[in-house]
Amino acid sequence: MGLAKSLWRRYDLARDEPVWAAMKIFFSSRQARRVIALEKYGEDLRPHCSHGDQQPAEAAEVWPDSPSFRADVLQEDWYADVHGLDCPTDALEHYQRYGACRALAPNPDLADPSGVVLAHWAVEFLVRAGVPIGALGAEELAPDDRKALNPYEIENPNGKKIAVVTAIFGRFDRLMPIDPAWQENADFFAFSDSSIEMPTEWKLVHGVYYNEDPRRRARFAKLHLPTFFSGYDWVVWIDGNILLCEDPKTILEHLNPDSFDFITFKHPDRSSIVAEAAACITFNKEDGLVLASHLKQHQDHPAFRDENLYETMVLFLRPSSSHVQDMCAKWWRSIMRGSKRDQLSLPLAIADTQGLRVGHLPDSIARSPFFAKIKHTNE
């Protein structure tokens, strides 16, 4: 069956082509045929996965053929049997298009007790190995779409102490799965401008601030956490390219939360605002003129030359703290007037907030057992 489908797709691509071109197409690699299909028809001609009548919400990006992944991780016979595929040779294609975005297990050893989806430690294992797990936004989210919450109306009816929050704007990142057991202690919220096939653990939240730059939209959510989540004792922010690897309650207990109001990572590579701005130029993270203007605005600040740089992909903050509220307001004002790179503004906002108790997360995010950093989808 799998061979017949492959032969038919080759014939469909080669039809109406000169003999020499048809022969080249017919004997080309699968990856090359996908490129040809996109150029010739403006679409990917691969068939949708046979999983009853259910179709994927979005196609994951085209992966290269991966014999190593297939041999080392994907157990084709088992996967095909679990998901009712016609042939084990369809397993890789089904997993790439359907299984990875929904955190389905590629073999029984990585499955949770249901035998279908990944255990969360297995999610971490595959994410750290570079497998693109998680869902991308499918279509624009209308402002009145009831699938998403108004952030100004978020409540905490069950009295949970922790809110975990992320933002997925544009198509830079996938929404990562979390362990359902963590819902006992925390609620999970994802700001977005897209309709995402949400894992049941996440609640979709409208992005109420508009800017052409999706990163600035995410910054608005990030720096207004005390406003939106005032009903919680703690808010844990994770950037869209961060996987949470442990129960947030366990992490918070590990950090001795009575000793701080705000905590994030110390920057592992740089210590000054100027060095960070230069790195933004090197890695094409921000416009050079914007960075120059931002630095000029703050050059006379007493903390401008301090060794005070943070890596802000993860934040823990106490939203009821007036010091945290004041610091976030100053942080946002600085971003509004200058660069969207929030690391360039946070040190000065902290320095200007007397009484704020600041802590550092242990190690760096690259070494942390609690968080895994993932490449953006456009990297």
Instruction: Give residue-wise pLDDT tens across range 112-149.
Output: 999 999 999 999 999 998 888 998 887 888 888 988 99
Confidence of residue 61 (pLDDT cuts 50, 70, 90): very low
Residue 326: the pLDDT is 98
In percent, the amount of the chain with pLDDT more than 90 equals 64
Query: What mean pLDDT do residues 282-311 have?
Result: 94
- What is the pTM for the complete model shown? 0.81
pLDDT bin (cut points 50, 70, 90) of residue 347 is very high
pLDDT at 56: 39
Report the pLDDT value the prediction gives residue 136, as an integer from 0 to 100: 83
Residue 195: the pLDDT is 87
Q: What is the pLDDT of residue 196?
A: 85
Average pLDDT, the chain: 86
- Confidence check: pLDDT of 379 > 70: no
pLDDT band of residue 310 (cuts 50, 70, 90) is very high
Q: 51-60, 244-253, 309-318: which range is least confident on average?
A: 51-60
Is it the case that residue 290 has pLDDT exceeding 80? yes
* 151 pLDDT higher than 80: yes
**Helix/strand/coil (H/E/C) assignment for every residue in the chain:** CHHHHHHHHHHHHHCCCCHHHHHHHHCCCHHHHHHHHHHHHCCCCCCCCCCCCCCCCCCCCCCCCCHHHHHHCCCHHHHHHHCCCCCHHHHHHHHHHHHCCCCECCCHHHECCCCCEECHHHHHHHHHCCCCCCECEEEECCCCCCCCECHHHCCCCCCCCEEEEEEECCCCCCECCCCHHHHHCEEEEEEECEEECCCCCEEEEECCCCCCCHHHHHHHHHHCHHHHCCCCCEEEEECCCEEECCCHHHHHHHCCHHHCCEEEEECCCCCCHHHHHHHHHHCCCCCHHHHHHHHHHHCCCCCCCCCCCEEEEEEEECCCCHHHHHHHHHHHHHHHHCCCCHHHCHHHHHHCCCCCCEEEECCCCCCCCCEEECCCCCC
pLDDT at 376: 77
Residue 6 has a pLDDT of 65
Higher pLDDT, residue 99 or 375: 99
Q: What is the rounded average pLDDT of the residues 242-266?
A: 95
pLDDT at 197 over 70: yes
Instruction: Note the pLDDT of residue 66.
Output: 60
